[in-house]
């Protein structure tokens, strides 16, 4: 009885501690990230004040962004989430305080000028930076700081996504592939709710897409098969996105030129591509995402079969050239437009549904977050899409393989029992091969085929004689 009382008392105080801490940090992060979102929105609105098209600033803006990050906060480089994951795994969540203002300024500058990047990664990095600063001020232990920083990630995502449950789960699920850290689940939920509520109170606005597709359809086997087929394609598209972004970054890094010159040349190339293909591929691209998800055919005019391919090119070139910003919004764009295209071919009467499935499935596969992506589908599109979204998110997650847009993710599972994969390594460092028993099966099959081939040759020789 005494042992039971001791256990319950300890758990009560632990829960109380993290309810208070995560609520407080969620409110602070909700306010901070809302300021970032409002500054970003104001910057986009002020483009009309320029005497020329805003994307002509790309070469200069990228040079300035690279200078800001390199000079004042090197850890603010890239698309944000990657650096936060790395900080959690390698530095117990410790993040340089300079990341907060520099990431905010560099991201606003990048998006204002038209770089194809997003705002979710910076939101998470700013949230994690605030949590790390709070931990340092109050001298938290390494374990508590790491936990609080994970809460900061969830709060940042929840504030920017406008989906508090998915944002909270995403912040936990994105760290380790195949494992959810249940000890951080409660504080992540609370910080996500607190941040989202604070953002709403401060006037943050969000776009939701309620789609009541199938209220009168209990089971549609043909549609399920189409969703499975589309999910396989979404997994392949995700693999293509991961590979393109990674290879572009490596290629630009390998060019032996001054980093500022590379940034300028990258900006010039983006400018030329914009003049050739149009400005729907630069910036956040929220209008294109809305058009792809629209139930009205007239909104599909600017969405072509190659739209998601061009967005992948613009995004990989922007990030590789030094733009500061997230990659989640471009992933939403790629998923929605590829889903719109695929739906138009395999199920024209359900185009907007397949756009929504692409939206969450490509997110699931590129970031290895099938649970958060499924919940996001429900929060953004309504409960009617839940079962199809779950199917698409999980299949695409498996099909994309042991890869991720975030190379610092830790692998805690293998996606096929036929493969030999070392668990516990960063996704960038893993080596994949077939299991020995599978190799033996293949060798036996080869031996049988060779034996059959020889028997056939002998039979032919006998017949010819």
Domain boundaries, the chain: 12-201, 221-411
The pLDDT tens digits for 127-179 are 999 999 999 898 899 889 999 999 999 999 999 988 899 998 998 999 988 88
Provide the CATH topology of domain 12-201.
Clc chloride channel (1.10.3080)
pTM confidence score: 0.91
Residue 441, pLDDT score: 64
Mean pLDDT of the chain: 88
Domains 12-201 and 221-411 share a fold: yes
Q: How far apart are CA 123 and CA 79, in angstroms?
A: 10
Instruction: Assess whether pLDDT exceeds 70 at residue 212.
Output: no
CA–chain centroid gap for 306, Å, is: 21
184-188, 301-305, 346-350, 448-452: segment of lowest average pLDDT: 448-452
Rounded distance between C-alpha atoms, residue 36 and residue 108, angstroms = 8
- pLDDT category of residue 96 using cuts at 50, 70 and 90: confident
How confident is the model over 338-396, as pLDDT tens digits?
A: 999 999 999 998 899 999 999 999 999 999 999 999 999 999 998 888 999 999 999 99
Q: Which CATH class is domain 221-411?
A: mainly alpha
Higher local confidence (pLDDT), 419 or 406:
406
**How far, CA to CA in Å, does 34 sit from each of 108, 160, 206, 209, 327?**
13, 8, 12, 21, 19
CB 417 within 8 A of CB 435: yes
* Residue 216: per-residue pLDDT: 44
Q: CA–CA separation, 119 vs 117, rounded Å? A: 7
What distance in Å separates the CA atoms of residue 223 and residue 438, rounded to the nearest whole number? 34
At 103 the pLDDT is: 87
| Helices 351-367 and 221-254, packing angle to 10 deg | 50
Number of other CB atoms surrounding residue 42 within 10 Å: 11
* pLDDT for residue 439: 59
Q: CA–CA separation, 448 vs 456, rounded Å?
A: 12
> pLDDT tens for residues 320-334?
999 998 899 999 999
Burial class of residue 440 (count of CB atoms within 10 Å of its CB; 0-12, 13-18, 19+): exposed
Percent of the chain at pLDDT > 70 equals 93
Comparison of pLDDT for 213 and 4, the residue scoring more: 4
Mean pLDDT of 4-23: 88
pLDDT attached to residue 80: 66
Residues 227-272 pLDDT 10s: 999 999 999 999 999 999 999 999 999 999 999 999 999 999 999 9
* 213: pLDDT strictly greater than 60: no
pLDDT at 115 over 90: yes
pLDDT reported for residue 130 = 92
pLDDT tens profile 264-284: 999 999 999 999 999 999 999
């Amino acid at each position: 009885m005494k042992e039971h009382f001791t256990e319950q008392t300890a758990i009560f105080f632990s829960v109380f501690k993290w309810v208070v801490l995560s609520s407080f940090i969620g409110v602070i992060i909700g306010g901070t990230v809302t300021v970032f979102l409002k500054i970003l929105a104001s910057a986009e609105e002020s483009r009309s004040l320029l005497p020329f098209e805003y994307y002509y600033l790309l070469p200069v803006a990228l040079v300035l962004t690279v200078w800001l990050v390199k000079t004042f906060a090197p850890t603010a480089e890239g698309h944000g989430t990657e650096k936060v994951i790395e900080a959690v795994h390698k530095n117990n969540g410790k993040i340089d305080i300079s990341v907060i203002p520099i990431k905010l300024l560099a991201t606003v500058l990048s998006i204002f000028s038209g770089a194809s990047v997003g705002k979710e990664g910076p939101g998470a990095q700013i949230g994690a930076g605030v949590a790390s600063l709070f931990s340092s001020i109050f001298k938290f232990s390494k374990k508590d700081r790491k936990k609080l920083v994970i809460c900061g990630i969830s709060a940042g995502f929840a504030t920017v996504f406008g989906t508090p449950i998915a944002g909270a789960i995403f912040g936990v699920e994105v760290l380790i592939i195949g494992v959810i850290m249940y000890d951080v689940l409660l504080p992540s939920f609370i910080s996500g709710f607190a941040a989202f509520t604070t953002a709403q109170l401060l006037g943050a606005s969000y776009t939701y897409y309620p789609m009541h597709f199938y209220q009168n359809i209990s089971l549609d086997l043909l549609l399920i098969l189409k969703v499975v087929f589309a999910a396989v394609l979404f997994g392949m598209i995700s693999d293509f996105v991961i590979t393109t972004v990674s290879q572009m970054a490596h290629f630009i890094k390998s060019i032996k030129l001054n980093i500022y010159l590379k940034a300028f040349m990258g900006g010039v190339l983006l400018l030329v591509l914009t003049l050739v293909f149009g400005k729907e591929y630069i910036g956040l691209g929220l209008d294109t995402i809305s058009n792809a998800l629209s139930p009205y055919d007239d909104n599909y005019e600017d969405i072509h079969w190659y739209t998601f391919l061009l967005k992948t090119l613009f995004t990989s070139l922007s990030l590789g050239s030094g733009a500061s910003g997230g990659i989640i919004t471009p992933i939403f764009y790629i998923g929605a437009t590829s889903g719109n295209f695929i739906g138009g071919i395999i199920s024209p009467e359900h185009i907007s549904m397949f756009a929504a499935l692409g939206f969450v499935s490509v997110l699931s596969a590129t970031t290895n977050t099938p649970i958060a992506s499924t919940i996001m589908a429900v929060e953004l599109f309504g409960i009617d899409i839940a079962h199809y979204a779950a199917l698409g998110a999980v299949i695409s997650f498996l099909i994309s393989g042991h890869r991720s847009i975030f190379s610092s993710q830790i692998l805690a599972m293998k996606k096929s029992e036929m493969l030999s994969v070392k668990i516990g390594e960063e996704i960038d460092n893993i080596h994949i091969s077939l299991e020995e028993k599978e190799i033996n099966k293949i060798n036996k099959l080869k031996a049988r085929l060779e034996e059959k081939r020889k028997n056939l040759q002998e039979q032919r020789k006998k017949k010819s004689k």
